Homo-oligomer: A and B are copies of this chain.
Amino acid sequence: MGKNEYKAEWEELAQVKKELAERDWFMGTSGNLAIRVSSSPASFLVTASGKDKRKQTDEDFLLVDENGEAMEETNLRPSAETLLHSRVFRNSQAGCSLHVHTVPNNVVSELYGDRGEITFRNQELIKAFDKWEEDASLIIPIIHNHAHIPRLTEEFSVYATEEKGAVLIRNHGITVWGRNAFEAKKLLEACEFLFQYHISLLSLKNISQTI
């Protein structure tokens, strides 16, 4: 399978990478991205480890199989959290999976880490997750940041069963996926907006009782 076989997916993922880099969502070379190339068995492009994601190069991504192993001869290593993306593609029909660290998603993951989840209600942007009723709620699970990646993957896997979703890893960013790159990015943006909103409102909580 040569580069021509997955040129469209490469370019789509490169575009997502560029947009997220413009927001500075890859601080300290953190974050990794994946896009599905074939269905069953799953293969996907994933970011190579240790690259500066503000740059666009021919070595930004590599093709891996559903176990996260490189499918072509290469000296690139897949990103450390490739197994998480792998589970998304094995467990569901999802087409794209994004893992990013932002200050707000880390802060929320720490604030609500002991509870294991955060719930959003009465916020227009939860509609991005098909929550249309006026009293609907969006629950995002928060899992422990196991240093042992297979164990982290196991716990993550429980929540990665539908074709779209989001999971926070405590002090280790968020993984968001959707049917395609457009949807995955849309859901990620919706989550980040909700986190920023929540933090801003929370910081005014005591004050707001007196205004």
Contacts and interface: CB of A to CB of B under 8 A. Distances in A.
Contact of A125 (B28, B104, B187): B28
B27 A192 contact: yes
A158 interface: no
A3 interface: no
Q: Specify how many copies of this chain sit in the oligomer.
A: 4
Name the prevailing secondary structure of the A interface residues.
helix
B107 A27 contact: no
B201 A110 contact: yes
Interface residue tally on A, bucketed by range: 35 or more
A211 B111 CA distance: 8
Given A29-B128, A190-B27, A202 B204 contact: yes
A148 to B, nearest CB: 8
A19 interface: yes
A189 B211 CA distance: 25
Nearest to A129: B28
